[in-house]
Structure 1
Amino acid sequence: MRVVFMGTPRFAVPSLRKLAASYEVALVVTRSDAVRSRGKKLEPSPVKEAALELGLPVLEANRMTPEVLDELRAVDAQVFCVAAYGCILPDEVLTMAPLGCVNVHASLLPRWRGAAPIQRCILEGDAKTGVSIMRIGQGVDTGAYCAQGSCTVPGKTADELTDELAEIGGNLLVNVLPTLADGTAVWTEQDESQVTHAAKIAKSELRLDSAATAQDNVRRVLASSDAAPARCVLGGKPARVMHAVCAQDGVPHVEAGAFAIMQKCLYLGCSDGCFEVTSIKPDGKRAMDSSAWAAGQHENKGTWELLA
């Protein structure tokens, strides 16, 4: 089976690798090189890097121009597979291949349609999430799905969940393609009454707040990223909390808006208790274990607050 694969970020790489191991990937379409980290140099997308490593032809495209459409037609693929490509596909692309165009979406549709399903499921405290293999339609993630796989959410960071879901999605995609070819795929229309939307995360949503619950603050840390970090003002200085967990039973009470260092552990007080910070990055310094940060403090207690 000849396949065109479209994807850009790390999440899409396992799908590409698994497709390349089982099918003929005739073309990989990804977004153009861009400034993707704190440096100012242009960097290839993770999908481009993986495609070149696999010896696959790559087409960089940020939109579907007439020239791009001509190249897609010339490939004469049987199916198009998409995973977080980041470009709106016109109807002409969706119907170009005989078996259509399927998408690897990181949620159990119809829950969490949209741009940030992984972060949203963490912030909402979902017990489980997953991946759906779906048809791409006119609306955002509105198409029917033919396969789903799931995993648990609690305690996992966005990066950890992304990697787990990426593997699940790649396996589902490879297994689904034969059912598209022989017509045995069973499509389920989404229940519109169960839809939730996963809007892009705003930086302000992940700021830590002593007026929130300890659980909510921990979820903000787990959902955070370089693009939207979990930050606060700790002891009068801004910092990013890199990792945190809910405090164990038996930890002494810490007032909301206060921090306490106990047995080299750092606790931040919230509206209903406290949570433990296990890794922290003060502005202008490297990330460090909270015990290392605590060792540099003159007092074992102080205050923390919302970053303005």
Structure 2
Amino acid sequence: MRIVFMGTPDFAVPALDALVAAGHEIVAAYSQPPRPGGRRGRALVPSPVHQRAEALGIEVRTPVSLKGADEQQAFAALGADVAVVAAYGLILPRPVLDAPRYGCLNIHGSLLPRWRGAAPIQRAILAGDEETGVGIMQMEAGLDTGPVRLEGRTPVAGKTAGELTRELADLGARLMVQVLADLDGHPATPQPEDGVTYAAKIAKDELRLDFAQEATAAERQIRAFNPPGAWVEVNGERLRVLSAEVCPATTGEPGEVIDDHLTIRCASGAIRPTSVQRAGRGVMTVADLLRGFPIPSGARL
């Protein structure tokens, strides 16, 4: 098939690779415009999809919007059979949705209709969902409301958002190849009317660890925000907590360090961080942290 690929982050790269490997013709790749990168010079850095598409010799387009008539005409002129969308980041207007022969197919990282929206993987972990998955959705004008052609499932277990994202990216890539190989054999099935939830975009203040919640919820917060890392303020410095275990606790107040191993009391139970990261430094164990950055029992975080 003649395919327009539309994606931006690492999540979308496995699908692009899988489509190329399956022998499809990628006539263009659309991605978000390059963004300022690291601290030195703030040079513009192309997205992961942009970089991968260029390496594959695919034309890359990075419009800031698809609302204009010129951009819509340029998209339609590609004469695509289908557009494959994976975490692209721009709204697709009706003329874009309708331009390809078979419309636009989206790789969405949840079991729809649960967790429609921007951050389905993180919200599934935060909510304590036991299972999540990925679906191949026929796109329509509503927010992730389109019918689903195929889906795959996986347990959430103790996975971080990073681990789950990589797993679902690979699964979604395989499912997309299956669907495109036999569109008639994977009819679009309307989503159930019950069970709709929305995965709002992650706000910056959500990354600060909240010890006024139960320890199990705090541990989910740590997994949901790795990467980039949930954080706590210690001695005026942000300390990222990348993994932790839940522990029993009968003493202390929420946010209080209750032993010499950085165990922190929550509303119910406690969490004991196992890997952390100080600003500008590498990931380390808590034992390594405490050797050079003491946080005594009784400290309030």
In the superposition, the TM-score normalised over structure 2's length comes to 0.91
Aligned position for 1:192:
193
Tell me how many residue pairs correspond in the alignment.
297
User: In the alignment, residue 17 of structure 1 is paired with which amino acid?
Assistant: D
Whether the aligned pair in 2 keeps the contact of 1:255 and 1:273 (CA below 8 Å) is no
Counterpart-to-counterpart distance in 1, 2:127 and 2:262: 25
User: In the alignment, residue 53 of structure 2 is paired with which amino acid?
Assistant: A
Match of 1:289 among 282, 285, 289: 285
Whether the aligned pair in 2 keeps the contact of 1:254 and 1:268 (CA below 8 Å) is no
Q: Does 1:96 align with 2:99?
A: yes
User: In the alignment, residue 94 of structure 1 is paired with which amino acid?
Assistant: L
Whether the aligned pair in 2 keeps the contact of 1:266 and 1:291 (CA below 8 Å) is no
Whether the aligned pair in 2 keeps the contact of 1:118 and 1:158 (CA below 8 Å) is yes
Whether the aligned pair in 2 keeps the contact of 1:7 and 1:83 (CA below 8 Å) is yes
Aligned position for 1:138:
141
Counterpart-to-counterpart distance in 1, 2:171 and 2:112: 15
Cα drift, residue 177 of structure 1: 0.7
Match of 1:275 among 271, 277, 287: 271
Q: Describe the SS at the equivalent of 1:304.
A: coil
Cα drift, residue 21 of structure 1: 0.8
In the superposition, the TM-score normalised over structure 1's length comes to 0.89
Cα drift, residue 69 of structure 1: 2.5
Counterpart-to-counterpart distance in 2, 1:299 and 1:125: 30
Whether the aligned pair in 1 keeps the contact of 2:249 and 2:265 (CA below 8 Å) is no
Cα drift, residue 258 of structure 1: 2.2
Counterpart-to-counterpart distance in 2, 1:198 and 1:245: 24
Aligned position for 2:252:
255
Q: Does 1:63 align with 2:69?
A: no
Please show how residues 18-167 of structure 1 align to structure 2 within 5 Å: 18-22=18-22, 23-37=24-38, 40-64=42-66, 65-167=68-170
Aligned position for 1:5:
5
Counterpart-to-counterpart distance in 2, 1:38 and 1:152: 37
Compared with structure 1, are the counterparts of its residues 299 and 37 closer, same or farther at alpha carbon in structure 2 (3 Å cutoff)? closer
Counterpart-to-counterpart distance in 2, 1:152 and 1:266: 30
Counterpart-to-counterpart distance in 2, 1:177 and 1:160: 26
Please show how residues 153-232 of structure 1 align to structure 2 within 5 Å: 153-180=156-183, 183-225=184-226, 229-232=229-232
User: In the alignment, residue 122 of structure 1 is paired with which amino acid?
Assistant: I
Compared with structure 1, are the counterparts of its residues 280 and 304 closer, same or farther at alpha carbon in structure 2 (3 Å cutoff)? farther
Query: Per-residue displacement from partner, 1:7-48 (whole Å, max 9, x unpaired)?
Result: 111111001110111111111111111125555221001001
User: In the alignment, residue 290 of structure 1 is paired with which amino acid?
Assistant: V
Cα drift, residue 68 of structure 1: 2.6
Whether the aligned pair in 1 keeps the contact of 2:12 and 2:169 (CA below 8 Å) is yes
Cα drift, residue 90 of structure 1: 1.3
Unaligned residue ranges in structure 2 (runs of 5+): none
Whether the aligned pair in 1 keeps the contact of 2:212 and 2:267 (CA below 8 Å) is yes
Cα drift, residue 253 of structure 1: 4.7
Whether the aligned pair in 2 keeps the contact of 1:104 and 1:132 (CA below 8 Å) is yes
Cα drift, residue 301 of structure 1: 1.4
Question: Which deviates further from its counterpart, 35-44 or 165-174?
Answer: 35-44
Query: Per-residue displacement from partner, 1:248-286 (whole Å, max 9, x unpaired)?
Result: 5xx675523322455xx4311112111110122334655
Query: Per-residue displacement from partner, 1:188-221 (whole Å, max 9, x unpaired)?
Result: 2112221000001112223212221111111111
Identity, % of aligned positions = 40
Query: Per-residue displacement from partner, 1:41-89 (whole Å, max 9, x unpaired)?
Result: 2100100111011111211222113333233223222111111111111
User: In the alignment, residue 295 of structure 1 is paired with which amino acid?
Assistant: R
Compared with structure 1, are the counterparts of its residues 24 and 84 closer, same or farther at alpha carbon in structure 2 (3 Å cutoff)? same
Unaligned residue ranges in structure 1 (runs of 5+): none
User: In the alignment, residue 5 of structure 1 is paired with which amino acid?
Assistant: F
Counterpart-to-counterpart distance in 1, 2:7 and 2:53: 10
User: In the alignment, residue 239 of structure 1 is paired with which amino acid?
Assistant: R
Question: Which deviates further from its counterpart, 35-44 or 268-277?
Answer: 35-44
